[in-house]
Every structure is written in C-alpha cells, then in structure tokens.
Amino acid sequence: MTLWNGSYPFYPGANACFPFDTSRAVIVTVFLSMMVMFIIILPGIRGRGRIFWFLRLVLGLFVGAVVLTVQFTRDWETGWVQANTSYKSFSPVQVNADIGLHIGLAGVNITLRGNPVNQINETINYNEHFPWNFGADYDRSYSEGLDKGLPSPILYVAEKFSTQSPCAVHRQYRVASHYASLSLWLAFCTWLISILLFSMSTLLYGGHMLLLTAALIHFSLLFFFSARNSLKCPIQFGPVSLRTDYGESFWLTLATGLLCLLLGLAIIILNSVQPEKLKLIFSLDKSSEEEVRDKSCLPAEPSCSAQDMLMVSLGELCQVTATHL
C-alpha cells in the first residue's frame, strides 16, 4: 500500500481516451448510400451500357470519397515503437508499452498501449489528439494534457511538435498540412465539375477536369512531402527511437491521383483517336443523337419538303391571281 492509496497526488486518475472520430464513417456511409441508390436503378439500363455505367459510377464515387475522406484521416504519417519507459512524471515506475505517432492534416495523434494493457493497477490505453488546423491551438491542447496528467510518453512526443520545441517542426507541418488540405478541397471541387461535364456529354472538358483533379491531388502530396522530409529531432525512448513513415492515407491519395491521371489521359486520347468508342463507353450512341437532333429541329424550322410545298402553293396562287386579272 502506497501513499494516497496507490495513486499519485498530481494525477487524479483520469484515463482519458480520445473519442472515436466519426468523420470517416459518415463520409463512407454517404457515398455507399449513393452507390446503393444508383445500383437499384441499374437494371433499367439496357445492353452493354449497363456495365460501362456501373464502372463509371464506382470510379467516380471512389475518387470523390477518397479525396474527401483523407482530409480527416490521421495516418498520413505513422510510426510505432515498443519500449520500457516511465509512466508518470516524478515516479520511478516503468511500464512496457507500444507508443504510436500518427500525423494527419489536422493534427497529431499519439497512442500509448501497455503490454499487457493492465499494469500497475491501471489500464494503459490512451489515444490523444493534438490539433493544429484552423481555429485550433496546439500549445493550448498540450497545456490541457499537462493539466490532465497524461502519461509521460504522450507528453514527451507531443512536446516535439509544439511551437516552443527546439525541433522547430510545428510550423513546417502546420503550413504544409494547410496547403495540402486546400489542394484536396480544390481537387474535390474539380471532381464535382468533371462529373457535371460528363453528365452534360462534354467528354473532352470532363477529361481536362480529371487531369486538373490529378494535378491538385499530387500537389497536396508534394506539400506534405516537403514537411515529411524536413529535419526532425529524434524521439528516443531509451535505446530505441520512434521512426515514422508514410501511412495508408498518403499511399491511397497517391493511387487516387494516378487513377485520375490515367482516366483523364485515356478520355482525351480516345476523344482524338477513336471518338466512337468513347461515346460507346459513355452510352452516347450516334443514332440516338441524330434522333434527338432531328426532334429538336422540327419545331424550330420547317423541313425541306414543307418549304417546297409552301413555294408551290405560293406560285400557284400568283398564277391564279394573274389569270383573274
């Protein structure tokens, strides 16, 4: 039995776990609902157009969902290390734990999970978020973590990204993340414009918009790459160090950008080389276009046969008038 019944006076036992981020779940649910809604009407499409329409639907929704989701993910850069480290300040007690660092466009997530989870009469399972997006104050979040008495490994890692840290990486990551997020929002807008252009059957301009979407996605990767390859302070836990590498969101964004690039180039090349195949892919048959064009011309101007009949009637009327005179 220790003083204060086994707990430390400066840490009143607040084992705060960061709540589950529902942004990704909401976005995925919305896009899956849209896909299900469109799949319901899929049997009403005839012939080979059904397959091409389904492929366009899946690719379009995939690109939009990825560009929107990676804005809120926290695994653009990740790293894990297992170490024996002190658990609380002013205490010699050490625990064996997995320490994870997850960097996203909106801030840093730091994970501490014990091996085993239950040690020193506590459940060691933390996941704390320190934001640096617009309207957020990283240093204030760090100070709140100090007031709550978060474990020393979390505070040690979080301190590396504070504005007062000698590492000086806070500004680089914050500015790079802001520009990367802005590029992705612009890419989402150009994706919406490309969908609108494809629905209006302006395929060439839709392909150009896909190329612009790919360029903006790659610009976001370039911005984050500039911060990722800046000089960093080592995050050391005894003999081992916490090293990070590109995470799932980074590689998923790269794959989506390459997909938009390939689709945009394919549409532009097919439009110049084999436009008929491109129209077949987008279910634009030549016969249907001619029918629509003929129907649209009927009320606007009379046909050639109608004009001939009108001219003949006028000629006969003139001859009859001259005879009577």
Half-sphere exposure of 307 (CA within 13 A, CB side): 5
What's the pLDDT score for residue 9?
44
The stretch 62-76 carries a mean pLDDT of 92
Report percent pLDDT > 70 for the chain. Answer: 79
Q: For 187-227, write each residue's pLDDT tens digit.
A: 999 999 999 999 888 899 999 999 999 999 999 999 999 88
Q: For 77-120, write each residue's pLDDT tens digit.
A: 999 999 999 988 777 888 999 999 999 999 999 999 999 888 88
Task: Say whether pLDDT at 59 is over 50.
Answer: yes
Q: For 125-141, write each residue's pLDDT tens digit.
A: 999 999 998 888 899 99
Return the ∠ at Cα 54 (arms to 49 and 56), rounded to 5°.
95
Q: For 243-297, write each residue's pLDDT tens digit.
A: 999 999 999 999 999 999 999 999 999 999 988 888 888 877 544 444 444 444 4
Q: Would you call 274 exposed, middle or buried from its count of C-beta atoms within 10 A (0-12, 13-18, 19+)?
A: exposed
What's the pLDDT score for residue 46?
72
Handedness of CA 130, 136, 137, 141 (dihedral sign): negative
Sequence spans of domains, the chain: 22-74+171-232+249-280, 77-169
- Rounded to the nearest angstrom, the gap between the alpha carbon of residue 19 and the centroid of all alpha carbons in its chain is 21
Give me the sheet containing 107-119, strands edge to edge. Answer: 122-131, 107-119, 94-103, 77-86, 245-246
Q: How far apart are CA 162 and CA 140, in angstroms?
A: 10
